[in-house]
Amino acid sequence: MQYRTLGRTGVQVSPLCLGAMMFGPWGNDDRADAIRIIHRALDAGINFIDTADVYSGGVSEEIVGEALAGRRDDVFLATKFFMPMDADDPNQRGGSRRWIMREVENSLRRLNTDHIDLYQVHRPSPDTDVEETLGALTDLVRQGKVRYLGSSSYSGSQIVEAQWASRSRNLERFVTEQPPYSILVRGIEEDVLPTLQRHGMGSLTYSPLSGGWLSGRWRKDAAAAPTSSARPSARFDMSSPANQRKLDIVEELALLAEQAGLTLIELAIAFVIRHPGVTSAIVGPRTMEQLESYLPAAEVVLTADVLDRIDELVAPGVTLNPDDNSYGAAELVPSARRRP
């Protein structure tokens, strides 16, 4: 596997990052099987793992910690904070110093490690000053509990604001951003990816298969909507024109993949990791079979003809269904764009 430099950190990471969201009750609740999947990924050359405190209420972090026993130094380990960890306590969430200082200790314990390589803010908060968050995170870096800082689902303007705050206040800066990116969700090409490149930041993009749309799970001849209550319904409402358009495009992409001698999954992941602004794509297998289907994409190089055809199907910078975006939501609510 060919490794890449993560932004300007000097750290070398694999083009595929193992996402651990599906390890635990949210996905695969067989701990032994989840650990086997993690070990297979490491043996295949993946040295980058991403999880979060909220995944299965901390169980994902526990599984990752158990899997890395004896192999911790071989892995660049990333986790995230911000999402609610207790629905009844409004302070067990967010980007406040109070919560960060408490929750990092919980993550360190669950991960069974004395440091986190990349500690990421899971979402931006309109109610918390970015300097509050960066100030607390800077202290964690200086204490040796965290090596690097990252953001997730930040808009271009939020990325710039955070970089400015770091420079003006002499705080540690975000060195990575984790945005959604796939053939069907290309909005970050217009602003987020160029902004990351200008600031020398790395990127670990998530959902390269667009929530299953590019895995072949939903096709025109079997377009039943998923039943999982964990998925936002607007993203998978098969009656919407945007999603009908996605179904049409998936058929074209499947044909393109076949003509190129690839699976649809390999085409989709290879597209993401070949963008010059992308460092690594997060793949989140639930089963060993899924992991094995992802691994070949790390070696795939798409030809100019294939890339041109993808651009014809989904224009650069375009997200076919706006409900697939997870950044910029606060800026688009009615109160933010209309007069009272």
pLDDT tens per residue, range 276-323: 999 999 999 999 999 999 999 999 999 999 999 999 999 999 999 888
Residues 155-188 pLDDT 10s = 999 999 999 999 999 999 999 999 999 999 999 9
Contact 243, 212 (CB under 8 A): no
- CA-CA distance, 292 to 44, in Å (whole number)? 10
pLDDT tens digits, 234-287: 777 777 888 899 999 999 999 999 999 999 999 999 999 999 999 999 999 999
User: What is the C-alpha separation between 97 and 184, in angstroms, rounded?
Assistant: 37
pLDDT digits (tens, 9 = 90+) for 323-335: 887 655 555 666 6
| SS3 of residue 300 by DSSP | coil
Which residues lie closer than 8 Å to 261 by C-beta, 6 or more apart? none
Concerning whether 3 is annotated as a catalytic residue, the answer is no
Residue of 55, 119, 154, 206 marked active site: 55
- Topology at the third CATH level for domain 10-330: TIM Barrel (3.20.20)
Mean pLDDT along residues 207-216: 93
Q: CA-CA distances (angstroms) from residue 282 to 50, 92, 198, 205, 331?
A: 8, 26, 22, 6, 26
- Residue 49: its H or E element: strand 48-50
- Pairing of β 12-13 and β 4-5: antiparallel
Residue 297, C-beta contacts closer than 8 angstroms, at least 6 positions apart: 16, 265, 266, 268, 269, 270, 273
Q: Please list, in sequence order, all residues whose beta carbon lies within 8 angstroms of the beta carbon of residue 24, skipping any fewer than 6 positions away.
A: 34, 55, 56, 57, 59, 60, 62, 63
Which residues lie closer than 8 Å to 227 by C-beta, 6 or more apart?
none
Are the C-beta atoms of 204 and 176 separated by less than 8 Å? yes
Question: What does the domain layout of the chain look like in residue ranges?
Answer: 10-330
Quick one: average pLDDT of 55-62? 98
| pLDDT tens per residue, range 45-55 | 999 999 999 99
Tell me if residue 62 falls in helix, strand or coil.
Answer: helix
Contacts with 129 (C-beta within 8 Å, 6 or more apart), sequence order: none
Per-residue exposure over 257-285, b if at least 16 CB sit within 10 Å of its own CB, e if not: beebebbbbbbbbbbbbebebbbbbbbbb
Q: How far apart are CA 268 and CA 256, in angstroms?
A: 11
Mean pLDDT, rounded, of the chain: 93
pLDDT value at 231 more than 90: no
